[in-house]
A and B are shown apart, each in its own frame.
Chain A
């Protein structure tokens, strides 16, 4: 949405925001002070879909000056150092970890923090010594440093698929620290990942809600060389995504006259408008902002402008389906309805067709196409209370675990740039991570791209795609400033979707 000068004062005077959070928010107001009609050439109709909340641009802004998600190839640093930063290539673990921490402060994104900090185990493994105790101390200190300075849990690290000494030490430290940041994924392939490493990761996921498991086979097939970043976004490696716009399917369905109008008229119209707005945004970043011209990341090969794409996202599939079920007089809900699944797939196929047929700009890496994404939700507008994250089942309407897995698996196929489901388990699974890995193996064999678990009674909890501490949310509810900006989103999402109350899977 377009901002106003008054927004500046509201932010300046806020009691809950830290200075750093204010600075970032003020920058965002500046990006949104321009009308996208004037600056980017949006049509009035396109703008109207933002104004009526059918489309949400996540307040990315209109005077865009960097891609939303940047996925650097940090191996470049290992090989060459970083000339712009006057850093030599690292020769030991200390050099590596220190150099990475320096680099992270120079990797921008929509949040101003890096959303991808590397395939950490691969980066560290060549520098691991025989002194495991010392290496462990260094890795743990490094990870803790990240949590306290990158105060945004969209910051994401990857490990796997192969078991390494570094990978095991990272998991050990992650479990001991129990920090929200960095978010973490194990790229899992049962033919490459050892069973013991997978079970250690599963145990860690129960205890501290990470790492989540990504289906490496299916993402390599769809995105090629990639990394998991931010929440669970699978994006081209050494590149990223310019922008993410999301359709609020529940809102669109409510605005339609009937099923026919929704599927055949309004939904296609909104989708096509969104794609055109995305074209205009990307054109501005590439042609006007001089991001690549001014970035040492581009100059030194950490990223390449030809490795970027864009994300076309949805939320509220459950809500749209529920509205259509009601119209058909069926008293069932998405997740527990055969007809509901049918409608869900009809909606997704309409969108898939439109996205596949739209020739995007500056997206050669993904065949000039933007990638569908199941967005985890946010609380930017009142409408977000009426749009369930991604294609997930509404909290409170979940079927049994086995039915839930069978229902959700076929929806994962639509989202090459990321989706994920999450399940709360009881604490008996901590001693039996093999059972969790079996469920993950089953899910991946059934078409799942991404799955995560957590224990219901822990403080550190996965909201939708990122982690927050419930205790920090409580602080914020009492109007105290908190370290991490994501805590605000966590509170908003819990208010919208009661994510702290997901059904326990026994």
Chain B
């Protein structure tokens, strides 16, 4: 069993609390228009390295004692539940914690064995409702994997990602929930209210709102995001509004 890895960052301060080794897997089941790592979306690429659990453990070990854990990001980490479960069991033996950075598009029950081995999730809410079709399940772009075929129904209509978040929160497995703010596609008020309802009984969980940036995006993505880029002023206005809602642990990334 091998994991396709796009990149490993030995020291990272932004993928969960503390200093962590970040592993970016290759392959994603979504295709978000503003994705800044769109090279990680295809299931393979020429830059991909294949690692066994043992090989990856050696890479991680090199950073001990300077790190408190690892974070698997991507791409989408939850595409590799069997491998990661096995990896996490070994990583924990080294006294490290294991985090997953996810887009929320997974089947909770199928993922449960991995969830139980995961210390914390960094959980993206990409949006709510039909808007997800265009924003995240687009088939107009090159890097399509056809992994998001029934996602419109499951997440766009069924809100499965919100249900999974609630279950993870009950298990105390969420460190932060993130929302990328853009001006169109979804209704920000509805989305934030929904998230507030879910998070209000979990005061320790961070809610991180990130202003969408388009710098460096490929042209075909830019085109589809026309008019959605919030100015700093837009973002600060929204931030003020969100601050008034009563979130206990808010972070804004301008």
Contact = CB atoms under 8 A, between A and B. Distances in A.
Nearest to B17: A434
Contacts of A400: 10
Nearest to B10: A402
Cβ-closest 5 pairs across A and B: A442-B66, A435-B13, A438-B19, A432-B13, A435-B19
A401 B9 CA distance: 12
A445 B67 CA distance: 12
B65 interface: yes
A404 to B, nearest CB: 11
A460 B233 CA distance: 31
Contacts of A445: 65
* A429, A438, A442 pick with most chain B CB within 10 angstroms: A438
Given A402-B66, A434-B18, 5 more contacts: A432-B14, A434-B13, A438-B66, A438-B67, A441-B65
Interface of B: 10-14, 17-20, 62-68, 251
B13 A429 contact: yes
Contacts of A443: 66
B18 A401 contact: no
A446 interface: yes
A431 B17 CA distance: 11
A505 B66 CA distance: 14
A412 to B, nearest CB: 15
Contacts of A505: 11
A405 interface: yes
Interface of A: 400-402, 405, 428-429, 431-432, 434-439, 441-443, 445-446, 505
20 contacts: A405-B66, A428-B14, A431-B251, A434-B13, A434-B17, A434-B19, A435-B12, A435-B19, A436-B19, A438-B66, A438-B67, A438-B68, A439-B19, A441-B65, A442-B19, A442-B64, A443-B66, A446-B65, A446-B66, A505-B11
A260 B12 CA distance: 44
A78 to B, nearest CB: 38
A436 B20 CA distance: 11
A439 B11 contact: yes
B76 to A, nearest CB: 24
Nearest to B251: A431
A402 B19 CA distance: 12
Contacts of A442: 19, 64-67
B22 to A, nearest CB: 12
B63 A402 contact: yes
B21 to A, nearest CB: 10
Contacts of A402: 10-11, 62-63, 66
* A400, A428, A442, A446 pick with most chain B CB within 10 angstroms: A442
B66 A428 contact: no
* B11, B12, B20 pick with most chain A CB within 10 angstroms: B11
A315 B12 CA distance: 33
A505 B62 CA distance: 17
A439 B10 contact: no
B65 A401 contact: no
Nearest to B12: A435
Nearest to A429: B13
A353 to B, nearest CB: 30
Contacts of B66: 402, 405, 438-439, 442-443, 446
Contacts of B65: 441-442, 445-446
A21 to B, nearest CB: 42
Nearest to B69: A438
A438 B18 contact: yes
Contacts of B62: 402
Contact of B18 (A405, A435, A446): A435
A505 B12 CA distance: 11
A401 B14 contact: no
A432 B175 CA distance: 14
* A435, A439, A443 pick with most chain B CB within 10 angstroms: A435
A443 B251 CA distance: 29
Nearest to A401: B11
B66 to A, nearest CB: 3
A431 to B, nearest CB: 8
B71 to A, nearest CB: 12
A435 B20 CA distance: 8
Contacts of B20: 435
Nearest to B253: A431
A219 B183 CA distance: 56
A434 B19 CA distance: 7
A249 B50 CA distance: 46
Given A435-B19, A438-B18, A428 B13 contact: yes
A164 B192 CA distance: 39
Nearest to A402: B10
A431 B14 CA distance: 9
